[in-house]
Amino acid sequence: ASQTNVDFAYVVQPYTSIVDSAITVSNDDLKKLYGDWKNRYKQQEETRGVKYFTIDIAPSEEDYLAEEQTIAEVRDSLKAATDIEQIRDVVSIIPGNKFLNAYISTKNLSAREKAFVDSASVGSVYGPYLENDVFRLIKYIGRVVTPDSVSFRQLAFPQSNEPRLLAFMDSIENLIKGGKDINELAVSMGTSAPLLSLTEIDLVRDLGESFSKEIFAAPLNQLSKIKSTNGVHLVYVTEKTQPVTKVKIAAVENPVFASSPTQNHLYNQASRFVIANADIKKFDSAARDSGYVVSPVVYLLPNNSTIGNVRRSREVVRWAFTNEPGSIKFFECEDKIVIAAIENKNKKGFRPIVAVENELRREIINSKKAEKIISELKSKPAKTLEEYAQTFQLQVDSARFVNFNTGYIADIGSSEPALEALAPIASENTLSEPVKGNKGVYLFSVYNKTQQNRTFDAKTEINNLKRASEYRIPSLFMQALRNSVNIEDNRRIFY
């Protein structure tokens, strides 16, 4: 079957077509499935079941207004600035901003920046405008047509008046001017002189305005000595790109963060929730009434570094393992406040039925829905998918390139092992029996079957399976080792 790819048409009656409340799940149902699945719930370490919701630590409307006012004041100063030094000073008013006195190719501008410089006159200021929680200003300073980048090799030396170093630099310079290849010479000195291709703005940022100006003016295929903010450079320019349109702009950015008053308000909000809902039985409904979405219970291991996808939330994990079920607390975790509740704790061994009840209940509900759907489908037999689709108001869809090893059927949008097993061995143009799947009950008909052009060889297949499993051997080995000895893992104490 793994060598056979099939394309098939199908209809699916989803489980969502029957409301959950129409299905009864008894304690006996839960106990039976738990017994069947018990080995799934064996755990080598103790766990804590924690549910939580998050509050984003985000700027308030007042924060946006305050920062917009700040950058509006900078705008007036930027508009009035007439020379480079004035512009440099104004740009640096808001911390984190630095003006680079360099031209940049218009192709490297954002669409908004390009539209501005193409329509504005030199000296104009655009903004402030808000983009990704950052207020921005742009001043249009000038336009030229010059090469965009320069390619060169270099040997760099520290700035010094030490006679021996100056003499050494002179000897190197004479060797290169005498025809010695700069890179070969660099290698003989235990270093290298790789070919660099840098734009004007790269050069100004890394080596200074003076260096950028001189290297663009340097002759091709000749050695030049140029000073930078880092020292003295013997530079051999090999190429300058064709002239392009470049502009000089000054950009000021003012990011908007949650202010201290905003953060305090959010912390107080979280604190009030914890105090008012100290009973964990009220946790879900109170969160829902407040507009929050509570996560399903997350089972934490002692050494988990986070809870869910919340960054820097190790503190929540530590708390969960040092407190009892029913405890509720809030935490600041980078850009979120986490309000967490300990639902249960599970010792090493088999997780209790109460800890996995939701998973068991969902499976039982879907199984009983499948029985109902299959019964309904069989009560109104049809000869084609189209007839079933018309009778039950379903849609005929198709899935392609499915085989026994597919794992995930992209056209369906989920993993459907039953279809992956049955479709490759089904006869073409034959309507299947109803098939219980993960999303619903399926009926399918294979309309194309392709056999791979290779002969089945059991030995080859065994080797392929072995190779596919080899990556698991180290982890399986370590787990077997843990199971064979009594090891107490205390790493959680130290971080």
Tens of pLDDT, residues 269-301? 999 999 999 899 999 999 999 999 999 889 999
- Provide the token pair at 307: 């809870």
Per-residue pLDDT at 2: 55
- What is d(CA 30, CA 13) in angstroms, rounded to the nearest whole number? 25
CB 428 within 8 A of CB 447: yes
Q: What integer best gives the mean pLDDT of the chain?
A: 92
Give per-residue pLDDT as tens, 226-239: 999 888 999 999 99
CB 267 within 8 A of CB 188: no
Strand partners, 43: 349
Give per-residue pLDDT as tens, 423-464: 999 999 999 999 999 999 999 999 999 987 667 778 887 888
Per-residue pLDDT at 485: 74
CB 60 within 8 A of CB 133: no
pLDDT category of residue 37 using cuts at 50, 70 and 90? very high
- What is d(CA 42, CA 388) in angstroms, rounded to the nearest whole number? 43
- Give 114-172 as a DSSP string: HHHHHHSPTT-EEEEEEETTEEEEEEEEEEEEEESEEEEEEEEE-----HHHHHHHHHH
Q: Which long-range contacts (CB under 8 A, 24 or more apart) does 304-311 make?
A: 307/50, 307/52, 307/338, 307/340, 308/52, 310/54, 310/334, 310/336, 310/338, 311/335, 311/336
**Tokens 């890394």 — which residue?**
206
Residues in CB range of 2: below 8 A, 6 or more apart: 403, 404, 405, 424, 461
Q: What count of residues does the chain have?
A: 495
- What is d(CA 96, CA 73) in angstroms, rounded to the nearest whole number? 17
Residue 191 predicted with pLDDT over 90: no
Helix, strand or coil, per DSSP, at residue 322 = coil
Per-residue pLDDT at 165: 83
